[in-house]
Amino acid sequence: MRIFAIICTREANLKPVTKGLVHTLSSYGVNVKLLIDQKSIFSAYQKGLDICKPEPTDIIIYCHDDIQIFSPRQSFIAALAKCVEADTGIVGPAGTSFLGEDAVWWNMEKWKKGYHKGAVKHLSRQDPAQVVTTSYGETGQVVALDGLFLAARAEVWEKINLKKPNYFKGKWDFYDIHYTTTAHNLGYKNYVLPIDMLHHSNGELVGRDSWHQNRQAFIANTNLPIRI
């Protein structure tokens, strides 16, 4: 079993956080593939899968270029080993076991009711030098995962079909909800696992029009809610 990481980034002159991510993953034995200045995350992720030429049981990670992984190598690899189980779909650090009619996985009402799982570190909005942990809940099985870090066997990604659905107009948005709920609907079990990481973003892209357009398109073409 091999492990690959496919990372989209804007420029060949990598930012320090991206260099650090590549160094960490490489030191853990992960084969990192950087895709520079792509036109769509859907086509980029398919391209990355093709480039890897993986065996069906190889693990493919799709992650943002602005994360830091703090999990030691042993625990990181141990977490990813969940992917080897035949009924496992996609795994990551944060998600929900109940995706409601609004298709927003971090919906506050569902959060208060205990449906969300996992934890991700962020930089404080008040003091960017301070790291705070956003704790969603315990780890476990979910239906949808946040796209900052997604991992699955190559054969799972192949069955999901990484190409952009025709009803999506935006080229960079809502791929994570589409991919992970597709895996769930195919009968796979998605999981939030204890992977310790810092995300150097607070979700600003959610405010752009294409995110809302793709969300509405997803809602119109999906039987919601989806829950375990």
In a 3-state reduction of DSSP, which class is residue 55? coil
Let me know how long the chain is: 228
Q: What is the CATH number of the domain that holds 67?
A: 3.90.550.10
Is residue 128 very low, low, confident or very high in pLDDT (cuts 50, 70, 90)? Answer: confident
**Region 118-122 average pLDDT:** 96
**In the chain, % of residues over pLDDT 70:** 97
**Tell me, what's the pLDDT at 171?**
93
Enter the tokens of residue 193: 């696992």
What is the DSSP code string of 9-52?
A: ES-SS--HHHHHHHHHHHHTT-EEEEEES-S-HHHHHHHHHHHH
Range of the domain at 211: 3-227
Give me the number of domains the chain comprises. Answer: 1
Is residue 193 very low, low, confident or very high in pLDDT (cuts 50, 70, 90)? Answer: very high
Distance CA 143, CA 153 (A): 17
Distance CA 121, CA 85 (A): 28
